[in-house]
Amino acid sequence: MTMMADAGHAPAGAARPPIRIAILGAGGRGRDAYGGWAIAHPDDARIVAVADPDAARRAVLAARAAGVREYDDWRALVADLRVIGADAVVIALPDALHVDAAIAVADAGLPFLLEKPAAPALAELARLAAHVGSVSARLAIGHVLRFTPFWRAIKRICESGAIGRLMTIEVRENIGFWHFAHSYVRGNWRNSAESSPMVLAKTSHDLDLIRWIAGSAPATIYSIGSLSWFREENAPAGAPAFCLDGCPAAATCPFYAPRYYVEALAETHGHPVTLLGADTSIEGRLRALATGDYGRCVYRSDNDVVDHQQTTMEFPDGLTATLTASAFTAENTRTLGITGSAGQLTGHMERGTLTVDLFSPGATLPPDLELAEHDTAALPPLGHMRHRVRVVPPATDLGDHAGHAGGDAGLMAAFVRAVREETVGRGQLSFSTALDAHLMAFAAEQSRVSGARVDFGEWVAGLDLDVPDEGAAAGPA
């Protein structure tokens, strides 16, 4: 396994022409994460068309890649796919448009990468699954974290048996107070009817990782959580609807919008500042914050998604897992702990660090891990082995590992390689590998709302889903 090399680069093959890619939606994901990768890897991929109603967003991609055809709606681009001559499509539209666009691209017969969530609601997921099966669509879902050096190392350590039989998995999705306010109180994912429940929008990645490491779907799921803080009754006395309307709590409120968008992000002129509007000057930002979504008082928005949620899962072999997602964290990162019969692993994704305690004297990690740093010590009194590793180089040297700890680049490289090799839709890039994570999210939400534990197998069977058979959900590593 060549984790560092796999993460950001398609394999040699530069003699072949680059894969021609059409991008639907030129926002943060389409333009920056995936489009940015294509532009940075011209031997592997070439953007040939982009659809977005926002001409300024399209122009960013069109200006950096020659001959890009521009469309103001995804439907117009898909109708023109033959003329465009694309080899593959990336769907990075808002959640609510995913299923219609995916069905249209599937009907056009091209392989495609569909951003997660594949569908924002269970009925839509069922509609997509049925169509994928009926036309044997070749699609991959944007679960980028499986393609990070960090999570690949964790998966490898667990499957090597180094920490023995897995007993518990704990994943913490530390959303970060400022990030939560941005996306889940003021931004696109604030309202479950307009987007999806937080457990899907934010933590389908984590459920996917838990499912991947556990090696099977859970037997049961139970979830609790609520929207406790970002509510009108918690607003400071006299707080107006917009921060800039003379809020008396401006100096002390952690969520005072100008402190984030104008001061902390003063040097940033890309995402997330561009979400406010195309004019990223200080004056432009202040104008946007005066009346726009991102300038709203966090206690007076139309948000309804939970601000903290905890989900527990039990797997058939007795392995148990918990997922905690909280708005109320200083950092925006994932942290985890996994225990097994022969050891324990803890990790911090943004730092790329893992500590692996192996209980047997002299015990070693699998030799095929590629690690930036590794030190080992036998600790008293029992001589158990502590391995401290850094999976990626320090943040100053992230390079291709930047977006999602290397996952954006890793997934795009894997997708482009699979388009070449005609393997999109199989193994790690199959729809069925991602389907369980989505179902787990919907089951968790049902449990949270009903207060009852969900028997996962029974619940899925009751859905009568037409699940496409395109490779085992466990998939190859």
List interacting residues with ligand NAD (CB under 6 A). 24-30, 51-54, 57, 73-74, 92-95, 97, 115-116, 142, 144, 188, 404
Compute the distance between CA of residue 240 and CA of residue 217 in angstroms, rounded to an integer. Answer: 47
Q: Least distance to ligand NAD from the beta carbon of 356, Å?
A: 26
Q: Least distance to ligand NAD from the beta carbon of 5, Å?
A: 22
Which residue, 28 or 133, has its beta carbon nearer to ligand NAD? 28
Q: How far is CA 246 from CA 266, 286, 299, 452, in A?
A: 21, 13, 15, 45
Which residue, 27 or 225, has its beta carbon nearer to ligand NAD? 27
Structure-block tokens of residue 223: 């979830």
Q: Least distance to ligand NAD from the beta carbon of 438, Å?
A: 12
Which residue, 156 or 179, has its beta carbon nearer to ligand NAD? 179
Q: Least distance to ligand NAD from the beta carbon of 52, Å?
A: 4
Q: Least distance to ligand NAD from the beta carbon of 106, Å?
A: 17
Compute the distance between CA of residue 152 and CA of residue 146 in angstroms, rounded to an integer. Answer: 6
Which residue, 32 or 307, has its beta carbon nearer to ligand NAD? 32
Alpha carbon dihedral 198, 113, 347, 216, in 10-degree steps, equals 80
Structure-block tokens of residue 431: 């729809």
Q: Least distance to ligand NAD from the beta carbon of 315, Å?
A: 25
Compute the distance between CA of residue 348 and CA of residue 370 in angstroms, rounded to an integer. Answer: 17
Contacts of 219 (CB under 8 A, 6+ apart): 314, 315, 316, 455, 456, 457
Which residue, 51 or 439, has its beta carbon nearer to ligand NAD? 51
Which residue, 220 or 274, has its beta carbon nearer to ligand NAD? 274
Alpha carbon dihedral 298, 328, 219, 317, in 10-degree steps, equals 170
Residue 231 phi/psi, 5° resolution?
Answer: -135, 155
Q: How far is CA 173 from CA 195, 215, 226, in A?
A: 19, 21, 16
Q: Least distance to ligand NAD from the beta carbon of 274, Å?
A: 8
Amino acid at 399: G
Task: From 10, 27, 28, select the one nearest 19 (Cα to Cα).
Answer: 10
Structure-block tokens of residue 359: 């209980």
Which residue, 131 or 404, has its beta carbon nearer to ligand NAD? 404
Q: Least distance to ligand NAD from the beta carbon of 116, Å?
A: 5
Quick check: 250 and 295 in contact, CB under 8 A?
no
Which residue, 44 or 115, has its beta carbon nearer to ligand NAD? 115
- Closest residue (Cβ) to ligand NAD? 27
